[in-house]
A = this chain, B = another copy of it.
Amino acid sequence: MKSFDEITQLVSIELEKINWNKQPQGLYEPIGYVLSLGGKRIRPALTLMACNLFSDDLQPAMNTALALEIFHNFTLLHDDIMDRADVRRGKPTVHKKWDDNTAILSGDVMQIESYRFIAKTPVKYLKPVLDVFSQTAAEICEGQQYDVDFEKRLEVNAEDYLEMIRLKTAVLLGCALKTGAWIGGAGEEDAQLLYDFGINIGLAFQLKDDLLDVYGDEATFGKKIGGDILCNKKTYLLIHALELANGKEASELQKWLQISDENKAHEKIKTITSLYNQLGVKSICEDKMQYFYSKAIANLEKLSVLNNKKQELRNLAEKLMFRQD
């Protein structure tokens, strides 16, 4: 069994081997740029780790793993245009470094490139892998659309929010695990358990993100604390705060949601955070995160492979839950 670190090392080596120095340069150079910015490489690692549960040979799953990493980075590229985000991983985003049209077109060809790597899946598994990949890709777009819709919608409940993050974040983790399991030779039941493990870890991961944005440590988080609060993002915390607040707390919350004055940013973050604390939404979010984390571990328990083989995935799940960035 290979460790997570060994596996991400393998992924990095293979990613660096891909030649993006192709013509026309204006089309392919931004792809190389985006992929060179780094990231945790969690998705391709999950594919290879799932494969490794059933097989010692990871090579047959490598192209599928790379496809998922390329696709994931494509979604970041296009999301950054839509969100008008200027910075990603400390560097200018593609539409800032080049322009919007370059970002649109390079993203389009990046999506095609991800399908070209999917097409290199061992032929025995090509059709099911292609199908789950396309379904997942469409779901991610659906999740992004719901995310955009929610910004404009007044009422968003916790269930809507969880469905949105399931689509936007969790399904790709599920897809990564399921395809890797198949290629490793897993039966359908194990493949589905790993898919569910991915969904549950993905949901917990996103709730952790919501918590880190408010309660993280700026130095280790790598982003400014309170970003979600400043843009009134309807996170799991805010949705619950809106539901639970009454009387004075409700009017205080509503008042601060109207304020977008940059000079009051610090005060806005402080006040809303303390409202979250008073309303107990921090522990509601932590409990829900714990709930999905436990479900994920239970999915893993049921898997028909030797218990010690599951340790790497358990470690990874724990690492993602207790991370500080």
Query: Which residues on A are within 8 Å of B, measured CB to CB?
Result: 23-24, 26-27, 78, 81-82, 101, 104-105, 107-109, 111-113, 115-116, 119, 123, 126-127, 130-131, 134-135, 137-138, 141-142, 144-146, 148-149
Give Cα distance in the complex from A130 to B115, angstroms. 9
Pick the 9 closest A-B CB pairs, nearest first: A27-B145, A109-B141, A24-B145, A82-B101, A112-B137, A116-B134, A112-B138, A119-B130, A115-B134
Give Cα distance in the complex from A26 to B150, angstroms. 12
Does A119 lie within 8 Å of B104, measured CB to CB? no
B-side contacts of A148, CB under 8 Å = 26, 101, 105
* Copies of this chain: 2
Does A105 lie within 8 Å of B141, measured CB to CB? yes
Give Cα distance in the complex from A113 to B135, angstroms. 9
B-side contacts of A23, CB under 8 Å = 142
6 contacts between A and B (CB under 8 A): A26-B149, A27-B145, A82-B101, A105-B144, A108-B108, A116-B131
Known contacts A81-B104, A146-B24, A149-B24; A112/B126 CB under 8 A:
no
CB contact between A78 and one of B26, B104, B127 (< 8 Å): that residue: B104
Does A127 lie within 8 Å of B119, measured CB to CB? yes
Give Cα distance in the complex from A107 to B82, angstroms. 13
Q: Identify 7 new A-B residue pairs, CB closer than 8 A, beyond the known A78-B105, A112-B134.
A: A24-B142, A24-B145, A24-B146, A81-B104, A115-B130, A116-B135, A126-B130
CB contact between A116 and one of B104, B138, B146 (< 8 Å): that residue: B138
